[in-house]
Amino acid sequence: MANGLGMKVIATDPYASPEIAEKNNVTLLPALPAVLASCDFLTIHTPLIASTKGMISTAELASMKRGSRILNVARGGMIDEAALLEALESGHIAGAGIDVFTTEPPTADGAAAKLVAHPRVVSTPHLGASTIEAQENVALDVCDQVLEILQGGLPRAAVNAPIILPEEYRKLQPFVQLVEKMGHLYTQHYKQPHQTFDLIYEGELCDITNTKPLYASLIRGLTMGISSRVGVNIVNANLVAKERGIVVNEQHSRDPVEHTYSSLVTLRARPTRLPSRHPSQDRSVASIAMTPATTAASSSDHIISGFCSASTAYISRIGRFSTSFIPQGTLLICHNYDSPGKIGVVGSVLGKAGVNIRFMSVAPVTFHIEENFKNEALMILGLDQEVGDEELKQLGAGDGILSAALVTL
């Protein structure tokens, strides 16, 4: 609000992120005295603890500019009320806005009561959740946030998690689901003991300073179904990754996003024995795609890419194959030679088993990635139910079918 009024905002906070402060046009100063000497309006937003009790007293008020104003809507006891009253009476402090006092309600004839009656003080009741309606709404809001987190959403008001700006929260929300699905798809489709992963962001995601929720979503997806641990989140994701020996390098690509995606996420898995780039070092997805390690059919690296459209997650690439499907439900992924009759082979087996196909996507080898591509493709089929081991054996033994596997997302 102060920025909107054309004011210069300065602050001191030992826990504030310099990056977030800079992005919001806030200048961080090293200590409180520097703020007091510079400000015209002082606002207090700290909890009442031993180190903040009486933090604004006679000396602090005297160090402020003559004619400055002070607002405290945090907790009573952080301002010496008698000292503030004296500064107001002398004219050194021009005005104050207060809705918290050391003793509530203020005792008669005390400094707080005199502040309430002072002509240059605006005092309001610090109701918070004191009314029945407010208490009910606070309880409902807490329940909504808990349910949102349990359903895989981002925490909006966690006290032990990195701060996420509202606009960044809105951009990240669909990608949280996408990255989790990518991690879970990797563990089921590739079934390889890779422990080192590059999580690469392209497009608008590169402008988001805090991508910790995406990192946590990847760890949750990678450990889903193979670990008894539940509730991987942005608070414990590092611990879970360390326990399982998982290394994730988050990288921001500055290359233009291909196709019509506003943002693209790529997961690249590689053997841990390969040297790892520093997590903060940017790397192009295009350069990854064109390396021999990823283009060869026998490559030890595995790549999955995805994007979001209208808050819906899509997988756009699996290994050497380009595709577009929603990672949801029971999926049958068949690796086959790209020649006539292969769709019929798969459809015949599923039809005899009474399994309905919801959708099918044929993923060809992506030509600009694989110059000497083999005549192969992936069939991704969405099924209404799982197929048995016998049907999977029949599919794997079908003419021109190289492999068939189920994935549940």
What is the set of active-site residues? 75, 104, 126
83-88 contacts at long range (C-beta below 8 A, 24 or more positions apart):
83/56, 83/57, 83/58, 84/56, 84/111, 84/115, 85/111, 85/114, 85/115, 85/118, 86/58, 87/58, 87/61, 87/62, 88/115, 88/118, 88/120, 88/121
What's the alpha-carbon Rg for the chain, to the nearest Å? 29
Helix (H) or strand (E) holding 217: helix 212-223
Q: Are strands 41-44 and 68-72 parallel, antiparallel or unpaired?
A: parallel
Which amino acid, one-letter code, is at 407?
V
Q: Are 358 and 382 in contact (CB under 8 A)?
A: yes
Q: Are 241 and 219 in contact (CB under 8 A)?
A: yes
Instruction: Provide φ and ψ at 31, rounded to 5°.
Output: -155, 165
Q: Are 306 and 178 in contact (CB under 8 A)?
A: yes
Q: Scan for tokens 């001191």, then name that residue.
A: 12
Give residue 195's Cα distance to chain centre: 22
Which residues partner with 401 through β-bridges? 336
68 Cβ contact list (under 8 Å, min separation 6):
39, 40, 41, 42, 93, 94
Rounded to whole angstroms, the Cα distance separating 15 from 177 reads 29
Rounded to whole angstroms, the Cα distance separating 25 from 13 reads 15
Q: Are 111 and 123 in contact (CB under 8 A)?
A: no
Tokens of 58: 């006679």
What strand order describes the sheet that includes 93-98? 41-44, 68-72, 93-98, 121-123
Instruction: Provide φ and ψ at 326, rounded to 5°.
Output: -85, 120
What number of CA atoms fall less than 13 Å from residue 337's CA on the CB side?
Answer: 8
